[in-house]
Chain A
Amino acid sequence: MTISLINLAKTYRTKDGEVVALAPTVLDIAPYSFTTVVGKSGCGKTTLLRLLAGLEGPTSGTLTFLPHRPKIGFVFQEPRLMPWLTVSENIAFAALSGKSPLSGGKLPALLDMLSLTAFANAYPSQLSGGMAQRTALGRTLFQNPDIILMDEPFGSLDYFTRKGLQETLLRLFKQEKKTIIFVTHDVEEALILGERVLIMKKGSVTGDVDVNLPYPRDAASLELLALRRKILSGIE
């Protein structure tokens, strides 16, 4: 499932004039790869993801998926759970569209993988931030997407919760054939997770770093620290 961006660009019109959220960008993303995107707030990371998801139309340029249009799942920055539904019902929410049937065993397996079984009947208002974000991830996985787009999904979580979720995500990536594009403002997180790190600056992709290190990665290792320094100098 190769994703190709050819001069893909997005400009927002506001009352103070035009904002170039994404300058014309040329980029290929390989199938079954884990790409992370880092950059300062406002550099266009969310815009890039929304364009890929089709939540936003481009101002110019084209976006193609080969060999055919994949199923795309989106994990938002906030959990965005339906407050009137339980954890199980939120995860199986996609079943309501009739396009992702609720086949037997799928929901229990997801609850188990995300350690949510004990909270299956809880409502979102009763959940911690980490549990809510795991539920949101479960809702996206329920559709069995080919491509998972994630927009700073762990940004508001504490250190340990975030580590746990990173491990869950890497396990998922190893077990199932998925293409993941993960946006973060945290360089360390980008390096722990990504096989490839894209650096964004003021609406452009200005850096493209391959991370050829085995999982699980040690944030304190010399290779990682060197890459971190390199990426940070690219972002500044």
Chain B
Amino acid sequence: MKRLGKNIMLPALLLLAWFIAARFEIFSPYLLPSPQKTFSVFWALLLDGTLARHLAVSLLRVVGGFLCSCLVAMPLGLLCGRSRVLHDFLEPILEFLRHVPPLAAIPLIILWFGIDEASKLVVIFLASFFPLFLNTYGGIRNCDPKLLEVGTSLHFSAWQKARYIQLPAAVPSILIGLQLALGYSWRALIGAELIAASSGIGYMILDAEQMSRPDVVLVGLFSIGILGGLINKVFLRLTLHLLPWQSKADAKL
């Protein structure tokens, strides 16, 4: 209860400041709509389904692109972690791509994949590929050689060592990769929707800006923040479930 109090304090203060600023019209209402106005717009958009529709479209895009990325980046990370040759072969091109922000590639992506769903998936794929790949690869590479030697002393085959020692040892790192990738996907997608889209929460925000509706823009921003937080919560729950040995670590016998 005390923690909740601390958690809620700063948001409550900011809300109060916002309320006061709007009440005394410190900024023009065209720049800063009041909290009541914003909330009533939020309520209206929620009731008529507009908000849910845009959020669902964005969420589906993230899930789709993210899954595609998982299917490619994680196996590739595992293979590179196991094979020096493959890693050295791919390294130069990956190192180059890693430094190109997906948003910078959007003009080309639109040219190649059009402005429909395909280009959104590609943007998300690019944004989430590297955190997934690098954390999977790193998790495999950083496996304690002393643990691997236990496998050798028990006459494990190379495959058994990979499956029963390296892979489980890499799980915490892979989960961090997934968490980062999810965040990156979201951001890249909103960016892509701001540039070229006819639906999605990013589009809703851009559209509202062009209609001079800062209240709708704010509703969009809050929705993104809240949804991102919720997804992260779900993810942390999942992490605790997958890593019982880490959550139990605090509970000394």
Q: Which residues of A contact B (CB under 8 A)?
A: 53, 55, 72-74, 76, 78, 80, 82-85, 93-94, 96-97, 99-100, 119, 122-127, 139, 143
A97 contacts B156, CB within 8 Å? Answer: yes
A122 to B244, CA, bound (A): 11
A96 contacts B160, CB within 8 Å? Answer: yes
With a cutoff of 8 Å between Cβ atoms, the chain A residues found around residue B168 in the complex are: 82, 84
A53 contacts B253, CB within 8 Å? Answer: no
A-contacting 9-mer, from B5-13, B17-25, B144-152: B144-152
With a cutoff of 8 Å between Cβ atoms, the chain B residues found around residue A93 in the complex are: 150, 154, 164
A80 contacts B154, CB within 8 Å? Answer: no
B154 contacts A94, CB within 8 Å? Answer: yes
A126 contacts B248, CB within 8 Å? Answer: yes
With a cutoff of 8 Å between Cβ atoms, the chain A residues found around residue B146 in the complex are: 76, 78, 80
B253 contacts A125, CB within 8 Å? Answer: no
Q: Which of B150-166 contact A (CB under 8 A)?
A: 150, 152-157, 160, 164-165
A136 to B248, CA, bound (A): 20
Distance (whole angstroms) from the CB of B182 to the closest CB of chain A: 23
With a cutoff of 8 Å between Cβ atoms, the chain A residues found around residue B89 in the complex are: none
Q: Considering the complex, give the chain B residue whose CB is closest to the CB of A96.
A: B164
Whether A125 contacts B147 in the complex (CB less than 8 A), given A53-B153, A82-B165, A93-B154, comes out as no
A-B pairs with beta carbons under 8 Å apart, 9 shown:
A76-B149, A76-B150, A80-B150, A96-B156, A96-B160, A97-B155, A122-B253, A123-B245, A139-B150
B252 sits at the interface (CB 8 A): yes
A72 to B153, CA, bound (A): 8
A80 to B147, CA, bound (A): 6
A126 to B246, CA, bound (A): 10
Contact of A84 among B152, B160, B245 (CB under 8 A): B245
A105 to B16, CA, bound (A): 67
The interface size of chain B toward A, counting residues with CB under 8 Å, comes to 25
Contact of B160 among A76, A97, A143 (CB under 8 A): A97
Bitwise interface map of B from 78 to 97 toward A, beta carbon under 8 Å scored 1, else 0: 00000000000000000000
B211 sits at the interface (CB 8 A): no
A226 to B168, CA, bound (A): 51
A80 to B150, CA, bound (A): 7
Bitwise interface map of B from 217 to 252 toward A, beta carbon under 8 Å scored 1, else 0: 000000000000000000000000001111011011
Distance (whole angstroms) from the CB of A130 to the closest CB of chain B: 13
With a cutoff of 8 Å between Cβ atoms, the chain B residues found around residue A80 in the complex are: 146-147, 149-150
B68 sits at the interface (CB 8 A): no
A126 contacts B171, CB within 8 Å? Answer: no
A219 to B101, CA, bound (A): 70
User: With contacts A123-B248, A139-B150 known, what are 8 further pairs, Cβ within 8 A?
Assistant: A78-B146, A82-B169, A96-B160, A122-B253, A126-B249, A127-B253, A139-B154, A143-B154
A149 to B244, CA, bound (A): 32
Distance (whole angstroms) from the CB of B171 to the closest CB of chain A: 7
| Residue with the highest number of chain A CB atoms closer than 10 Å, among B146, B154, B244, B248 | B154
Whether A84 contacts B171 in the complex (CB less than 8 A), given A55-B153, A123-B245, comes out as yes
Q: Considering the complex, give the chain A residue whose CB is closest to the CB of B242.
A: A84
With a cutoff of 8 Å between Cβ atoms, the chain B residues found around residue A85 in the complex are: 245
With a cutoff of 8 Å between Cβ atoms, the chain B residues found around residue A123 in the complex are: 244-245, 248-249
Distance (whole angstroms) from the CB of A161 to the closest CB of chain B: 15
